Amino acid sequence: METSVLVQIQRVLENPKLQDAIYSSTARLMEKRRAAIPPELEQEFQRWREQAHQIKKHTLENLDHYLELLEKRVTERGGHVIFARDGGQVADFILELAKRHGAHLVVKSKSMTTEEIHLTKRLEQAGFESVETDLGEYIVQLANERPSHIVAPALHKTRYDIAELFHQRLGVEPDPEPEHQTQIARRTLREKFLQADIGITGANFVIAETGSIVIVENEGNARLSTTLPPIHVAIAGIEKVIPRLADLAVFLKLLGRSATGQPLTVYTSILTGPRRNNELDGPRQFYLILLDNGRTRVLADRTRRQSLYCIRCGACLNHCPVYRKIGGHSYPWVYSGPIGAVITPQFQGLDEAGWLPFASSLCGACGEVCPVKIDLPQLLLDLRYDAVKAKIRENKNRWERLSFRLWAAVMKRPKLYELVSTALGLIDTEETNGWLRRVPGIFALGPLKAWLQYRDFPPPPPQSFRQLWRLRPPAREALD
Amino acid sequence: MAVAATGSGGVGLMERDHILHLVRTAIGRSVGQVPEEPPTVLLRGQQMPLEERIRKFGEALEKLGGKLHVAASHSDAKHYVAALVAGKRAVASGASVLLECQITELPEVQAGPWTLETLRQACASADVGITGADYGLADTGSLVLFATTDEPRMISLLPPVHVAMLRKERLLASLDDLFLEVPDLAERSSSVVIITGPSRTADIEQILVRGVHGPGQIHVVLV
Amino acid sequence: MSLRVSLFITCIVDQLFPRVGLAMVEVLERLGCRVEFPEAQTCCGQPAFNSGYRKEARAVAEHFLEVFRGAEYIVCPSGSCTSMVKNHFKDLFADDPQRLELAQQVAGRTWEFSQFLLEVLKVEDVGARLPKVATYHDGCHALRELKIKDGPRRLLAHVRGLVLREMDAAEECCGFGGTFSVKFPGISAGMGRTKLESILRTGAEVVVSTDCSCLMQIQGLISRAGLPIGTMHLAEVLASR
């Protein structure tokens, strides 16, 4: 694990204001979700989850068929489908498109997929202005930071942080009122929408049978990005495909409720190709870029494939006690929380991110709330196994491996176990009725030292249970 | 045309085939193999009498901060809208329901015919955007708008206030009913938008603020 | 009813919290069970399994199956250890049909303590008395893997003199998580402190749970902070007279 990540985690743990921001924001999101699934809806909600899981399973198991169908339909509607292996190809395509049309200004609506491939940076490096238009993303862009949560990108910022930020970057007087801050952003961004040459969005779902993309949002910036600029480019991972329009009924019911506790978000746009002859406004050109970027690798693993069912609702983040303590920036990649812990090692490799699945107490809250029933806790366990196997192959974890082998050797042999137990019992610890703050020098290594850094340790009892059991009066045993 | 040959050219085509090949290998399928049947999705329409639909719609809409006016007549509807646009600049679409209620006759209202340019300018400076609505969804208080020449997208989007006139008989019970009623909605228009309340955000400290990019006020007039 | 109960005491209770084991025995005997202790038992293998060392976990799990193969009712004072046997042994023996079969049989006969009382002995009132203000912490494995939620609360409701106050974050993880507690001690302790704040808001004198691992984490933090709060395993509460 990189030191920089450890440093970041430590920084967050020592920052009470940030701690509070993360904890209370996620608490509110959890509460909203709970309120959107009242007891009378619970059974049906569970049915939807199972349905969604099955639809995703089927789609991915027949993905080639659906991708080809999608391509056919989009093309019939006058749109274009581009398959891209990685972020570089996406950027190349867009830059070429922009050059061809003399485009300079791009407006972007929120898309984790574009974060994943650092699209904005690539466009900026090539001399284009690429403006994030989702309020949270806009704030984070101005601050030159990464978003810290899938659904609430600026969750880690207080209104005072934002007031200062707007003052610095937009030249306005510092004003901590969220209403005013929102109006400032609206004004500034409205200008951009009206001037933009290209609108870039993600897609929450891509419907194969109709060739449509579906974008859900609350602000209206995706609608503006797909209405005003003459060119619309949508970028979606290949796993975003669903077969039919009717499937949308299931997914929409799950997404809003799981993400923000809304039965439907404010805007649900079902967009099918560029504007038609009987329409006045809307983009003249529509491009759908389908991105691999490692997804086909995950797809190949039958048990890990379910990682791709994710509909990016953020529920697992909100319920994860680890996320709620360390926040999104402590994760090494753009996807944080339990889903991030599961896909990062698969996309970036175990060398880079094999440690991440271990940063979990395996509490299981994530699996309970995932709307598409990804078995996140099981995947975390499986990835830990993968990580250990990889380390063994590279001979990287000799001490840990030796420790567990010794441990297993002892645990298989009851007499040896008792011998070790008795030996440990002989260690002289501070005579105290209370719990231990310290243990004798040489035992304060590794795990015990890490424990004692923050907590006291239970004083080893004079006798183990089995020793006490053997001391029981014989009369009781005669009952057998 | 299978792929955007413009620019990406031959590389684009290779990439497409390569990725599809990777997909097939990953899932163990071959070219042209017949796919399995997708799981059944049962859409459940709700039998709900009109009065109840109207009541639910009003409740849901108001909870979101929108306003419902059930018009007693065409002239009542016109009267209501007149009050909303008094002294302001308004843009109206060419929806038939607006014509029937004579909305376009109101002095503040600019109606078509539009070119894209004149529409943009009008919407960018308007205070109120007046549209029809193809459907309403009662349980969520939503409006469904299909984009056409007569019903451009930006009228319900740019101005800070959105007034929508919805015919009573187009008020459906739920989202499932919409998909049952219009299974071919993607054929009808390149843009079908389901609008559920005023534009909002909670990106700043999870505090609710309305009217971020889209309209911060929504009025629905049921006709 | 004189059921033959085989104690699966767990290594943590054996080594660090033997009183909990004795309390469990007392309650079971009070309710008429014949309690035996298969002495060859050691551990269920969870620490290795959770750390990704499945080969080592499997070796220990094999020993477990041998020890308990003839048992009728295997009763355990830990949600996480019970869940290891019931839910995760199948991961270890997926490629060994014979052992998998045995594992499934043994799993079917393994019970977490509170579930055994309620579902097998069908008892809610064990005749306990403990005049204290308590709060209950839902251990994650017990809660989510064994679906233990109401059970312990029903048992506690019959403890004379006990006042049970629900904390607002009863279902939030205490931060133990096995080796997580020492691999990521800062995060673990942070999570534990959040739990502690929730406990303090109830004004309880004692925290009760079905898992000693959780109680060890919570008591460790309580002790470090010098707070006058105690922790008790459910068995200890039910053994109180």
Helix spans in A171-277 (H): 178-195, 221-225, 245-260
Cα end-to-end distance, chain C, whole Å? 22
Alpha carbon distance B51, B17 (integer Å) = 55
C30 pLDDT higher than 60? yes
Q: Are A266 and B26 a contacting pair at CB < 8 A? A: no
Residue type at B194 in one-letter notation: I
Q: How far is CA A413 from CA A418, C8, C62, in A?
A: 9, 16, 12
Q: What pLDDT sits at residue A3?
A: 76
Q: How many CB atoms lie within 10 A of CB B179?
A: 21
> Going by CATH, does the domain composed of A1-36+313-396 fall within 1.20.950?
no
- In a 13 Å sphere around the CA of A203, the CA atoms on its Cβ side amount to 29
Closest approach of chain C CAs to the CA of A162, in angstroms?
A: 27
Which residues in B lie closer than 8 A to residue A228 (C-beta atoms)?
120, 154
Residue type at A239 in one-letter notation: E
Pairing of strands B191-195, A267-271: antiparallel
Q: Six-digit token pair at A358?
A: 């271990």
Domain boundaries, chain A: 1-36+313-396, 60-293, 398-477
Residue range C61-92, pLDDT digits in tens: 999 999 999 999 999 999 999 999 999 999 99
How high is the mean pLDDT of chain C? Answer: 97
Element (H, E) at B218: strand B217-222
Q: Are A458 and C52 a contacting pair at CB < 8 A? A: no
Q: What pLDDT sits at residue C2?
A: 87
A476 touches C: beta carbon within 8 Å: yes
Q: How many CB atoms lie within 10 A of CB B9?
A: 12
Q: Six-digit token pair at C177?
A: 């998580």
Q: Per this entry, what is the length of chain B?
A: 223
User: Which residue is closest to B113 within chain A, CA to CA?
Assistant: A280
Which residues in A lie closer than 8 A to residue B43 (C-beta atoms)?
246, 249
Q: Six-digit token pair at A106?
A: 């791009």
Q: What pLDDT sits at residue A440?
A: 64
- With contact defined as beta carbons under 8 Å apart, do A383 and A303 qualify? no
CA nearest to A334, candidates A64, A47, A87, A78? A87
Which residues in B lie closer than 8 A to residue A260 (C-beta atoms)?
202
Distance of CA A135 to the CA centre of its chain: 19
Residue with tokens 């570089």: A88
Alpha carbon distance C110, B7 (integer Å) = 65
Phi, psi for residue C164 in degrees, rounded to 5: -105, 120
Question: Percent of chain A at pLDDT above 90?
Answer: 84
Alpha carbon distance A480, C65 (integer Å) = 23
Residue range A87-123, pLDDT digits in tens: 999 999 999 999 999 999 999 998 999 999 999 999 9
Phi, psi for residue A292 in degrees, rounded to 5: -90, -75
Phi, psi for residue A150 in degrees, rounded to 5: -55, -40
Q: Are A280 and B116 a contacting pair at CB < 8 A? A: yes
Alpha carbon distance A317, A328 (integer Å) = 9
Residue range C164-176, pLDDT digits in tens: 999 999 999 999 9
Residue range A444-475, pLDDT digits in tens: 567 888 999 999 999 888 899 999 999 988 65
Residue with tokens 């309710």: C31
Residue with tokens 């609506």: A109
- With contact defined as beta carbons under 8 Å apart, do C37 and A466 qualify? yes
Q: What pLDDT sits at residue B7?
A: 43
* Selection from A248-252, A396-400, A416-420, A434-438 with the highest mean pLDDT: A248-252
Element (H, E) at A205: strand A205-207
- Torsion A468-A471-A474-A475 (CA) sign: negative
Q: How many CB atoms lie within 10 A of CB A422?
A: 12
Residue range C186-220, pLDDT digits in tens: 999 999 999 999 999 999 999 999 999 999 999 99
| E strands present in B99-156 | 109-110, 128-133, 135-137, 142-146
A23 touches C: beta carbon within 8 Å: yes
Segment A74-96 mean pLDDT = 96
Q: What pLDDT sits at residue A430?
A: 57
Q: What pLDDT sits at residue B1?
A: 35
Q: How far is CA B29 from CA A455, B24, B36, in A?
A: 54, 5, 11
Q: Indicate the SS3 state at residue C196.
A: helix
User: Which residue is closest to C29 within chain A, CA to CA?
Assistant: A476
Q: Are B41 and A299 a contacting pair at CB < 8 A? A: no
Q: Six-digit token pair at C112?
A: 């977490």
Pairing of strands B90-92, B217-222: unpaired
Pairing of strands A80-84, A285-291: parallel
CATH T-level topology, domain A60-293: Rossmann fold (3.40.50)
Residue type at C197 in one-letter notation: E
Q: Which residues lie below 8 Å from residue A414, measured CB to CB, with a gap of 6+?
A: C39, C40, C41, C42
Gyration radius (Cα) of chain A, Å = 27
Segment B32-36 mean pLDDT = 93
Would you place residue A480 in the very low, low, confident or very high pLDDT band (cuts 50, 70, 90)?
A: very low
- Torsion B111-B113-B116-B121 (CA) sign: negative
Residue type at A317 in one-letter notation: L
Q: Are B193 and A223 a contacting pair at CB < 8 A? A: yes
Q: Which of A84, A133, A270 sits opposite B192 (nearest CB)?
A: A270
Q: Per this entry, what is the length of chain C?
A: 241
Question: Percent of chain C at pLDDT above 90?
Answer: 99
Element (H, E) at A160: helix A159-170
Domains in chain B: ranges and CATH: 1-36 (no CATH), 50-222 (3.40.50.10420)
B residues 95..134 contacting A (CB < 8 A): 114, 116, 119-120, 124
CATH architecture of the region C133-239: 3-Layer(aba) Sandwich (3.40)
- What secondary structure letter does DSSP report for A308? G
How high is the mean pLDDT of chain B? Answer: 93
Residue range C131-163, pLDDT digits in tens: 999 999 999 999 999 999 999 999 999 999 999
Q: Indicate the SS3 state at residue A200.
A: strand
Residue with tokens 């309340």: B197
Alpha carbon distance B99, B92 (integer Å) = 10
Domain boundaries, chain C: 4-120, 133-239
Closest approach of chain C CAs to the CA of A137, in angstroms?
A: 27
Which residues in A lie closer than 8 A to residue C39 (C-beta atoms)?
414, 466
Alpha carbon distance C143, C149 (integer Å) = 6
Residue type at A330 in one-letter notation: S
Element (H, E) at A30: helix A16-36
Segment B74-93 mean pLDDT = 97
Which residues in C lie closer than 8 A to residue A453 (C-beta atoms)?
185, 189
Q: Which of A385, A389, A458 sits opposite C16 (nearest CB)?
A: A458
- With contact defined as beta carbons under 8 Å apart, do C191 and C159 qualify? no
Mutate which of A361, A433, A443 to test chain C, going by most C C-beta atoms within 10 A?
Answer: A361
Element (H, E) at A104: none
Q: Tabulate helix, strand, coil % of chain C (nearest 5).
A: 50, 10, 35
CATH architecture of the region C4-120: 3-Layer(aba) Sandwich (3.40)
Q: Are B43 and A246 a contacting pair at CB < 8 A? A: yes
- With contact defined as beta carbons under 8 Å apart, do B14 and A54 qualify? no
- In the beta sheet, which residues pair with residue C136? C208
Q: Which of A61, A135, A157 sits opposite B201 (nearest CB)?
A: A135
Chains C and B share 3 or more Cβ pairs within 8 Å: no
- With contact defined as beta carbons under 8 Å apart, do C30 and C1 qualify? no
Q: Which of A159, A219, A245 sits opposite B201 (nearest CB)?
A: A219
Q: What pLDDT sits at residue A462?
A: 87
How high is the mean pLDDT of chain A? Answer: 93
Complete DSSP assignment for C41-93: ----SHHHHHTT-HHHHHHHHHHHHHHHTT-SEEEES-HHHHHIIIIIHHHHS
A residues 400..419 contacting C (CB < 8 A): 400-401, 404-405, 407-408, 410-412, 414, 417
Alpha carbon distance B82, B219 (integer Å) = 12
A58 pLDDT higher than 80? yes
Residue type at C87 in one-letter notation: N
Element (H, E) at B21: helix B5-27
Complete DSSP assignment for C127-161: --B--SEEEE---HIIIIIS--SHHHHHHHHTSBT
Closest approach of chain A CAs to the CA of C13, in angstroms?
A: 7
Q: Six-digit token pair at A285?
A: 């050109």
- With contact defined as beta carbons under 8 Å apart, do A267 and A214 qualify? no
CA nearest to A10, candidates A314, A317, A358, A329? A329
- What secondary structure letter does DSSP report for C15? H
Q: How many CB atoms lie within 10 A of CB A349?
A: 12
Q: What pLDDT sits at residue A101?
A: 96
Q: What pLDDT sits at residue A78?
A: 97
- With contact defined as beta carbons under 8 Å apart, do C185 and A453 qualify? yes
